[in-house]
Structure 1
């Protein structure tokens, strides 16, 4: 690919330099004796002499007397023998300065085999401002062929050089004495003659491009650039017009290739979708390069499968399986293709496709050989398509990146009669190389996205356990764009006393790092939830944790750059829900009739972005019977096109059907809310609240006196007997004795005892003190300190939490599996 880019770049630079040499040249017409016959304004500007000064006089007026002067017969004979001469020389300016110029002497033929010399002088210093080195510039100036023709004021050809015949195939004898309309197509001749008339009238020079079909390449149109100069006599009147033509076809092709490559940089790889990138390559190639193009990708690359082989020589003796990912043709319906886009295909081992994949080298077949005995005999379906559609020229380019075979691109011509050439192959290789980079990026993205998605799904809860408090369902939808998987998450956390914590969060960023950061944050929330902290306090501790994690290592790839979160605690015994949020959208509350409201919660600063100076605020809401709560991330309600209020309204409309099952309602929400923009992922958590049966709750207010311990044991034993849990009475009496005694000695009155029968049996003792119990191991000589240790041994779990007006110590006992 580098060779092609070098030659294209050289052509793009050399041709403008050649044209500049001609269009800026000083032109003079002289005879065999070196007498100046005609002069141009450009010559006057260059050397300072006007036409009146030099016409009719010897050219030695401006050329130094040396062996290069035209008056030297030996030099003139040498020029005549070679048909001209070019090189560098020194020229005297009218003010006495010496100029170092490029000199070109071109032999012109007239009628009756007479001849003249056309002298063109160009300032080398003006050309040296380009990026060409000296040897390249010298070669250009001395060897570049130019076609020259001189016409009289009636635009009849009077003098011409041999190069013009090679350019357009018109012989010298036919051209001399005739106008352009007798040799060129009418529209080209009219345009050129109009330019020449303008030059004759103004006395200035002009440049114009035209087309011709040289005899040595009659099937390919060539582009020529002609510079026109007005030739003046001694009186300053126009004697005729001189045209100097240069074949700029290579420059035009170079510009076309540069345009295609420039277009490729914007058209190929616009997304990180592998199939789309392959189709973009095919679309660009047709019709700019080929009449038919296909892109086949190995089935082993994502999203088709796993990582491709790390070696190029992966072809075995049997057919290899690919998937047709890109397909384009100049014909409607793409009749050249045996397979449709997306179908799997096989590459036979004896085909040029297999050889290109095996060697990693491109295959060029300018004239496709379809005679019996060739490789197409082993592929009858393709052979039929080739013959039916007139495929006559073929290029096959393997798609390789980081020494991995990603697939193969095939280019064919059917209607275009010109066969593919080496420069076409170089262009195709450059296009495929650029596409390969985009495909490799897409492959890496697909692999990373799959990894991040798997990590995200594994970090999210597999089952939502709402216990007796709520019925829960959730959805996670990754972004559909290049941003990929993000850090959105949700969770349902069982708490003591049949309560449940509901949480939804959104970590800033996308990809694996965001998924890892989400996992860290979710683990922190679960740890803090186990401490039974109120929502506002939990968010405060979480904010501290995020800022601490962010400050530990600013370069850590999975550091949390900010997050939003909403945290709620629902108590099924009271239908009270306490909520707090940190920069997150508020949850939606849907009553049994489908009325949707969004509670007015203080917004709070996003986690990790505030300074911890403003505390989070919690709001307590009593939920109606049968209510439904919806927690979500901003990807569900925000979009680039609509305001967030529009998204909230659409969400409310989708939620206004609480009679549906939660799973169906989750699907309805994500399907009917069009603001789930592809630029962000979505987490959705729906919970339908339950109310704990009052018959399963028993509560007593107790005085703060030692005798109440016996009363508490008796009340609890009687309640357990009513519930049919007599076997738990001895254990519960020990636990209540310890808890009530501690409340009397270390707390403050009043005391409240509550038993809750749900998935476990919970015993709660409340007092208004602020002294929290602490488990410690008593020494042998200690008389106290063994009560909590005994409770820990007898119970499933125990703990304490803050409550309005004091604290609450709780203990859970397991129930029979039949309950």
Structure 2
């Protein structure tokens, strides 16, 4: 047989044995031999051994001859008692001090398997890059070829046990896994094992373990063989790829500069080091571009993010949020500013800053290795990221420095994107706030507080707004709206719509009619937009008109959430109103709801960002708002406190959508501050109206403006008698101003004109305009009302004008 090794033909096991003399006669026969060939000892002993051969004597045999001519070892075929041939491997040895020979034989198939096993075992133990251990059923080490040199240690070291170099917890886990292999017979494949030990200072190896159970001829466990392969480089490559993938996933998910920097250090620790920090230029934090300067003397940096493997940042180091001290123009700093990653050891660290207080503030106490990488984006240095390893850590190698540079480069782009967003968002928010009215207003109709919260978490502003409009006759309009879309485009649209609402409100239109005109405007704006943007032009709007004399509030909605009202008695409810379509849809009417409000009632007008939770359930959000308003709305409690209570929690979780909130506490004009009369369309009514007016002004203590008021009443009542017919209503309202209203059933528009010197009339409205601070007219279904307002107390213009009127 090719490649047969006669010396190793037989191995321990069930072996047949026979003894024969120099003549070849069998003198002794073992039971194993009887079992192998089926011949008992009595049939064989005394017969020539050649009778047992199945082959002819002259046929060649695979054997080796001894010096005396007897075969020493080899293979042959023996005849079984049944007549079949049995292939065996044999060995013949002379017994010392005797002429007899001992023959040992075993089935050839068994010896082949044993030969292969022995050959494999010798080959495994001869491997230099693979560790092999052989353990018995107690997991006691029988044989191993693992040395410290196998694990990257110094050459020439003695064999070691894995528990001597492996982490204690990993060693225990590995031993438990081997015991399971021994008990169950299920092999262990590819189990990773970390090796970090004082016997291997500065070394961290990763081993792959494979184990299988050994069994004896009866199938019983006989031990465990473990194969150990050093996969440190492969694992290192996988770890680096995983870290890059982790960095690309975790860094850049936020458009907040500081949050992005924190994501960076959280990725680096503990994957690459024990401590990490990020310092950014102050302008970057504000959204501006930093100055490109070299050296440390002019740097203005701030530490914005830190991370520690044990979760605790050392108190002696520069803390998060603190400004970094000025640093000398070190070569390492200049190298970083040129875009290089620097790696320094403990000896270099101690002398690189020159001043002890800088070392104490900027270098971790037990740092043995330090790596610093620049945060470069689009040719601008935004800051630096630093990472340190303590005394037990290995030095940063070239691959790790390159990995840090790649991660820092990706992070720098994310930081720059966040910086750009911060700048644009800041500009948009500033514009948005400039377009909004004052947050607090005080009028005879109501006290108001408005709050605007821009979206957070990377969301753009979306054009939410509120407005408070003072209307004639002490009335007020309260507006809240939300433009479709985000960014500066939405802000610009919001500004146009707010201006339009103010203009339409001055016309004193009914709520539903005002929204109809506003809907037409939005349709025109959509028509002016590019075709691909027309579907994104739209808005929702809530318009509320409040009359403090009638104590009545009228509400209309164009697709906007309904307001919530609380009489400040521990209850609150949404206004019963069916919102119409959003602005820009067109073709649909708007409904109005009218409600009488008790003095001191609080109205909450808002945009959907306030009630839209993470689940998008606005109904649940409206219930939460209603419950909060009922709980926090109390008589006399400042509106700003109520607003903070309604917005509680938003600082911890920035809203994904803009929020505009307008709180209104209604007021009423006392009945004794209102006087009204009705006159027929008769010229004599002019005198009666003047008398009634003079009497009422005297009762109010307003004699100083009685003369100008009589003129206003005379002119307005005269015009009504002459051109409109009756009945004619006259109402005076006394608050911080004096309002004079004259109503008639005509819808004819009064017109102010300049009379010529020869004209006998045409000066009535001109006199009204001169005597009042403002005047105007509004229409209803039963006619019109002309109103004029005067400041309470004699102003210089009134006194001058009254002195020019002949008595």
**Would you say same fold, with TM above 0.5?**
yes
Within 2, Cα distance between the matches of 1:212 and 1:291?
18
Is the 2:206–2:235 contact (alpha carbons within 8 Å) kept by the matching residues of 1?
Answer: no
**What is the root-mean-square deviation in Å for CA atoms of aligned residues?**
4.5
The SS at the match of 1:671 is coil
Partners of 1:272 and 1:652 in 2: how far apart? 33
Looking at structure 1, the residues matched to 413 and 203 of structure 2 have their Cα atoms a distance apart, in angstroms, of 36
- Shift of the alpha carbon at 1:262? 0.7
Superposition deviation, residue 677 in structure 1 = 6.7
User: How far 1:484 moved relative to its partner?
Assistant: 4.6
1:588 match: 564
In structure 2, list runs of 5 or more residues that go unmatched. Answer: 4-114, 133-141, 148-159, 164-173, 179-188, 196-200, 211-227, 799-807
Correspondence list, 1:673-688, <5 A: 678-688=655-665
Alignment partner of 1:635 is 2:609: yes
SS in 2 for 1:348: coil
Matched, 1:455 2:419: no
Q: Partner residue of 1:691?
A: 668
Structure-2 residue corresponding to 1:771: 748
1:588–1:598: 8 Å Cα contact kept in structure 2? yes
Quickly say closer, same or farther: Cα 1:704–1:371, change in 2 above 3 A: closer
Partner Cα distance (2:510, 2:556) in 1: 9
Within a 5 Å distance, the mapping from 1:101-120 to structure 2 comes to none
SS of alignment partner, residue 752 of structure 1? strand
The match for 2:347 is 369
Q: Report if aligned partners of 2:603, 2:663 keep a CA contact under 8 Å in 1.
A: yes
**Is the 1:636–1:675 contact (alpha carbons within 8 Å) kept by the matching residues of 2?**
no
Per the alignment, residue 476 of structure 2 pairs with: 500
Q: 1:550 to 1:342 in 2, by over 3 A?
A: same
Q: Shift in Å at residue 782 of structure 1?
A: 7.0
Q: 1:270 matched to which residue of 2?
A: 253
Contact 1:553 1:559 in 2 (8 A): no
Tell me the alpha carbon deviations over residues 53-73 of structure 1, each in whole angstroms, 9 at most, x when there is no partner: xxxxxxxxxxxxxxxxxxxxx
The residue that corresponds to 1:551 in the other structure is 527
1:670 aligns with 2:670: no
The alignment status of 1:658 with 2:616, answered yes or no, reads no
| Gap change, CA 1:676 and 1:731, over 3 Å in 2 | farther
Query: Is 1:281 aligned to 2:264, yes or no?
Result: yes
Residues 688-737 of structure 1: CA distance to partner in whole angstroms, max 9, x if unpaired?
22221333322111112333333333333333344344443443344333
Give the equivalent residue in structure 2 for 1:329.
Answer: 308
Distance in 1 (alpha carbons) for counterparts of 2:202 and 2:568: 84
Structure 2 partner of 1:760: 737
2:727 is the counterpart of 1:750: yes
Evaluate the alpha carbon distance shift between residue 406 and residue 558 of structure 1 in structure 2; reply closer, same or farther with a 3 A threshold.
farther
Q: Compared with structure 1, are the counterparts of its residues 745 and 291 closer, same or farther at alpha carbon in structure 2 (3 Å cutoff)? A: same
Q: Which of residues 797, 800, 815 is equivalent to 2:777?
A: 800
- The answer to whether the 8 Å contact 1:636/1:676 transfers is no
User: 1:223 touches 1:252 (CA, 8 Å); kept in 2?
Assistant: no
- Does the CA-based 8 Å contact 1:698-1:754 persist in structure 2? yes
Distance verdict in 2 for CA 1:247–1:506, change over 3 Å: same
TM-score by length of 2: 0.68
Distance 1:180 1:555, change over 3 A: farther
Q: What is the Cα deviation at residue 495 of structure 1? A: 0.7
> CA 1:317–1:223 in 2, change beyond 3 Å: closer, same or farther?
closer
Flag the 1:371–1:658 CA change in 2: closer, same or farther, 3 A.
closer
Paired with 1:681 and 1:254, the residues of 2 have a C-alpha distance of 45
In the alignment, the residues of structure 2 paired with residue 814 and residue 676 of structure 1 have an alpha-carbon distance, to the nearest angstrom, of: 48
Corresponding residue SS for 2:678: strand
Q: Give the Cα–Cα distance (whole angstroms) in 2 for the partners of residues 479 and 352 of structure 1.
A: 44
| Residues 676 and 442 of structure 1: CA distance in aligned 2, closer, same or farther (over 3 Å) | closer
Q: Cα–Cα, structure 1 residues 649 and 352, in superposed 2: closer, same or farther, change >3 Å? A: farther
Match for residue 704 of structure 1 among 681, 686, 693: 681
Change (3 A) 1:405 1:748: farther
- Aligned residue number for residue 488 of structure 2: 512
Give 1:21-420 correspondences, 5 Å limit: 152-156=116-120, 181-182=144-145, 219=203, 221=205, 252-302=235-285, 305=286, 307-311=288-292, 314-316=293-295, 318=297, 320-331=299-310, 333-335=312-314, 338-351=317-330, 354-365=333-344, 367-370=345-348, 374-380=351-357, 382=359, 388-389=365-366, 391-420=367-396
* Superposition map of 1:600-615 within 5 A: 600-608=576-584, 610=585, 612-615=586-589
CA distance in 2: counterparts of 1:629 and 1:211, whole angstroms: 67
Rate the CA distance shift 1:548–1:654 in 2: closer, same or farther, 3 A. Answer: farther
Asked if structure 1 preserves the Cα contact closer than 8 Å seen for 2:526 and 2:537, the reply is: yes
1:446 paired to 2:422: yes
Q: Distance in 2 between matches of 1:725 and 1:219?
A: 97
Residue pair 1:777, 1:786 contacting (<8 A) in 2 also: yes
Match among 698, 714, 729 for residue 737 of structure 1: 714
Question: Could you list the runs of 5+ residues in structure 1 that have no partner in the other structure?
Answer: 1-28, 31-150, 171-178, 195-206, 227-244
Q: Does 1:809 align with 2:786?
A: yes
SS at match of 2:562: coil
Give distance in 1, aligned partners of 2:362 and 2:389. Answer: 13
Q: Contact 1:582/1:616 (CA < 8 Å) preserved in 2?
A: yes
Per the alignment, residue 33 of structure 2 pairs with none
The structure number with the bigger radius of gyration is 2
